[in-house]
């Protein structure tokens, strides 16, 4: 079960990083770096927040 949590967290982090760097041209570099750092440390939580706050 632990392994599954790691895989889901990794996928969420990759999702946020790819979305931020490739699909948000209006976002500044500093904000992109902050989202990337947050995705690396708080994977699933960051993905949920990003989805509701920035994606729409």
Within 10 Å of residue 2's Cβ, how many Cβ atoms? 6
| H/E run at residue 35 | helix 29-41
CB 35 within 8 A of CB 46: yes
Does residue 22 surpass a pLDDT of 70? yes
Which residues span the domain enclosing 39? Answer: 2-55
Q: pLDDT band at residue 1, thresholds of 50, 70 and 90?
A: confident
54: CB partners within 8 A, 6+ apart: 20, 24, 27, 35
pTM of the model: 0.86
Q: Give the chain's domain count.
A: 1
Q: Given a cut of 80, is residue 56 above it in pLDDT?
A: no
Integer Cα distance of 44 and 29 in angstroms? 22
* Mean pLDDT, the chain, whole residue set: 92
């Amino acid at each position: 079960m632990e392994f599954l949590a790691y895989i889901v967290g990794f996928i969420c982090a990759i999702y946020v990083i790819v979305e931020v760097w490739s699909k948000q041209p209006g976002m500044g570099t500093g904000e992109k770096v902050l989202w990337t750092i947050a995705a690396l440390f708080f994977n699933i939580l960051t993905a949920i927040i990003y989805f509701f706050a920035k994606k729409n």
